[in-house]
Amino acid sequence: MSPSTPSSTSSPSPSPAISPSSPSATAPPSTAPVSVLGLGMMGTALATALVRAGHPVTVWNRTPARTGPLVAQGATPAGTPADAVTASPLVVLCLLDNANVHEVLDTLGDTVSGRTLVNLTNGTPAQARELAARAAERGARYIDGGIMAVPQMIAGPHAYVLYSGDEEAYRAHRATLAAFGGTTWAGTDPGLAALHDLGLLTGMYGMVIGVLQAFALVRTENIRAADFAEPLVTWIGAMLAGAPEWARAIDSGEHLTDVSSIAVNQAAFPNFLAAYRDQGISGELFAPFQKLLDRAMAEGHAEDGLSRLAELLRDE
């Protein structure tokens, strides 16, 4: 990760570098109005956190019935996205994907002018940059965000949100955004929050793939997944301790190892695929890793550590 600003954070959770900022919203944080567009599980959690923090909250959802529970808590329903946007200077979008964000923005025209849009919809760095440019064309400020929490964690001690884009707008509204959890500034490039978000989620999905494959494997011999979970968690935790060393190797380009070479792993990995086949489970999640190890050997990296594989993943 390479954020462009010095390190500081308002959240105790591990996070990328963040620029210190002093909130200076025109209204006190407890009275600043906010509109939330999109009331799926995450959007509902965000809106609920804002209501509980004392903000006047206007909510909109494509399916109006979803506004009911929030209205019961004190939120104001909006009939259209435009009604929601005009109700508040700060607008939070949490939709299914950025195609839906584009669709909503197309209906708003210049209604967003003078407002700050905080897009917490999962997307890519390129999508974030494109949306920032569109917002600027319409006179709006744009902050992109990546939520590092599941809905049940929002407003709790371990939730934090990555932000990037318009730093002045972020500083102005940071105290309000803190209703969701810790606030982590990734940089003025609108795409950096999405980049960090996807990087962290990539690590998470890699873990999920390995854990599910492990459970599927041991279940073939009627070993309870619950019984296997404890040693699996302990093992994965111990292996993750090597991540900082891999990071140093990747940054320096020096991949020699005294732990486990690519040659050793390439020789051993066929046993995994054979065991999966013999035990009657699919190896489709792991077969690509064998190909990458084979390529590393063919390119002369036999004595290097596994950190070398990160370089091979880059498109030429």
- Predicted confidence at residue 31, as pLDDT, reads 82
- Predicted confidence at residue 16, as pLDDT, reads 44
- Predicted confidence at residue 265, as pLDDT, reads 97
Same domain, yes or no, for 183 and 209? no
CA 139 – CA 265 distance, rounded (Å):
54
Same domain, yes or no, for 167 and 214? no
The enclosing domain of 271 has a CATH number of: 1.10.1040.10
Same domain, yes or no, for 204 and 171? no
Residue 2 lies in a domain: no
pLDDT in tens, 168-207: 999 999 999 999 999 999 999 999 999 999 999 999 999 9
Number of domains, the chain: 2
Q: Whole domain around residue 107: which residue ranges?
A: 34-188
Same domain, yes or no, for 202 and 180? no
Residue 8 lies in a domain: no
Among the three residues 188, 218, 237, which one is the final residue of a domain in this structure? 188
Residue 11 lies in a domain: no
Residue 285 lies in a domain: yes
Same domain, yes or no, for 97 and 137? yes
Q: Can you give the pLDDT of all 316 residues of the chain as single tens digits? A: 333 333 333 433 334 444 333 333 345 666 899 999 999 999 999 999 999 999 999 999 999 999 999 999 999 999 999 999 999 999 999 999 999 999 999 999 999 999 999 999 999 999 999 999 999 999 999 999 999 999 999 999 999 999 999 999 999 999 999 999 999 999 999 999 999 999 999 999 999 999 999 999 999 999 999 999 999 999 999 999 999 999 999 999 999 999 999 999 999 999 999 999 999 999 999 999 999 999 999 999 999 999 999 999 997 5
Same domain, yes or no, for 166 and 302? no
Same domain, yes or no, for 175 and 202? no
The torsion angles phi and psi of 136, rounded to 5 degrees, stand at -60, -40
- Predicted confidence at residue 6, as pLDDT, reads 32
Same domain, yes or no, for 119 and 226? no
Chain mean position to CA 46:
15
pLDDT in tens, 33-56: 999 999 999 999 999 999 999 999
DSSP letters, 72-86, are HTT-EE-SSHHHHHH
CA distances from 246 to 1, 98, 119, 257 (A): 13, 33, 33, 10
Same domain, yes or no, for 54 and 162? yes
Check if the beta carbon of residue 147 is closer than 8 Å to that of residue 193.
no
Same domain, yes or no, for 281 and 302? yes
Nearest to 190 by CA among 120, 122, 130: 130
The enclosing domain of 101 has a CATH number of: 3.40.50.720
Same domain, yes or no, for 62 and 113? yes
CA distances from 291 to 34, 158, 265, 288, 298 (A): 50, 37, 12, 5, 10
- Predicted confidence at residue 9, as pLDDT, reads 39
